[in-house]
Structure 1
Amino acid sequence: MSGICHGRVVAVTGAGRGLGRAHALAFAAEGARVVVNDLGVGLDGTPDPASPAAQVAAEIRAAGGDAVAHGADIATGDGAASLVTTALETYGRLDTLVNNAGFLRDRMLVNLDQDDWDAVLRVHLTGHFLPLRHAAAHWRAETRAGRTPHARVVNTSSGAGLLGSVGQGNYSAAKAGIVALTLVAAAELARYGVQVNAVAPAARTRMTERVFARAMAAPGTGFDAMAPGNVSPLVVWLGSADSAGVTGRVFETEAGRITVMEGWRPGPTEDSGARRTPAEAGATVRALLTEALTPGAVYGAR
Structure 2
Amino acid sequence: MNNAKHFSLSGKRVIVTGAGQGIGRAMAVSIVGLGGQVVAVDVNASALDSLRGELGADRLATVAGSVTDEAVVQQAIDAGVAAFGGVDALVNNAGITRTAMIDKMDLSSWRQVLDVHLTGAFLFLQALGRHLIARVKAGETVAGSIVNISSDAGRRGTIGQINYGTAKAGVLGMTMCAAREWARYNIRVNTVGFGVVETPMTETIRSDQFRDTYLQQIPLGRWGETEEVVRPVCFLLSDAASYVTGQHLSVNGGYTIGL
Q: TM-score range by the shorter chain?
A: 0.7 to 0.9
Using a 3 Å threshold, how does the CA distance of structure 1 residues 174 and 136 change in structure 2: closer, same or farther?
same
Which among 41, 54, 60 is matched to residue 59 of structure 1?
54
1:25 aligned partner: 29
Which among 31, 36, 39 is matched to residue 35 of structure 1?
39
C-alpha deviations, 1:236-295, integer Å up to 9, x for none? Answer: 11011221010000111036x698986xxxxxxxxxxxxxxxxxxxxxxxxxxxxxxxxx
Cα drift, residue 72 of structure 1: 2.3
2:251 aligned partner: 253
Distance 1:52 1:115 in 2: 26
Which among 147, 171, 177 is matched to residue 178 of structure 1?
171
1:152 aligned partner: 145
Using a 3 Å threshold, how does the CA distance of structure 1 residues 130 and 212 change in structure 2: closer, same or farther?
same
1:270 aligned partner: none
Aligned positions, number: 244
1:115 aligned partner: 108
Distance 1:225 1:112 in 2: 28
TM-score normalised over the length of structure 1: 0.75
Which among 218, 224, 227 is matched to residue 226 of structure 1?
224
Using a 3 Å threshold, how does the CA distance of structure 1 residues 246 and 237 change in structure 2: closer, same or farther?
same
> Deviating runs (4+, > 4 A) in structure 1?
213-216, 257-262
1:207 aligned partner: 201
1:16 aligned partner: 20
Answer whether contact 2:152 2:256 (CA < 8 A) is retained: no
Structure of greater Rg: 1
1:126 and 2:119 matched: yes
Cα drift, residue 165 of structure 1: 0.3
Cα drift, residue 66 of structure 1: 1.2
Q: 2:127 is aligned with what amino acid? A: H
Distance 2:179 2:206 in 1: 32
Greater percentage in helix: 2
Using a 3 Å threshold, how does the CA distance of structure 1 residues 92 and 258 change in structure 2: closer, same or farther?
farther
1:75 aligned partner: 68
1:140 and 2:144 matched: no
Q: 1:232 is aligned with what amino acid? A: V
Aligned ranges for residues 80-95 of structure 1 at < 5 Å? 80-95=73-88
Cα drift, residue 77 of structure 1: 1.3
- State the SS of the aligned residue for 2:200: coil
- State the SS of the aligned residue for 1:200: strand
Answer whether contact 1:251 1:258 (CA < 8 A) is retained: no
Distance 1:261 1:239 in 2: 26
- State the SS of the aligned residue for 1:242: helix
- State the SS of the aligned residue for 1:196: strand
Tell me how large the CA RMSD over aligned residues is.
Answer: 2.4
1:239 aligned partner: 237
Answer whether contact 1:252 1:260 (CA < 8 A) is retained: no
Using a 3 Å threshold, how does the CA distance of structure 1 residues 196 and 260 change in structure 2: closer, same or farther?
farther
- State the SS of the aligned residue for 2:167: helix
Using a 3 Å threshold, how does the CA distance of structure 1 residues 233 and 87 change in structure 2: closer, same or farther?
same
Cα drift, residue 225 of structure 1: 4.6
- State the SS of the aligned residue for 1:251: strand
Distance 1:120 1:14 in 2: 14
Question: Which sections of structure 1, spanning at least 5 residues, go unmatched?
Answer: 41-49, 217-223, 263-302
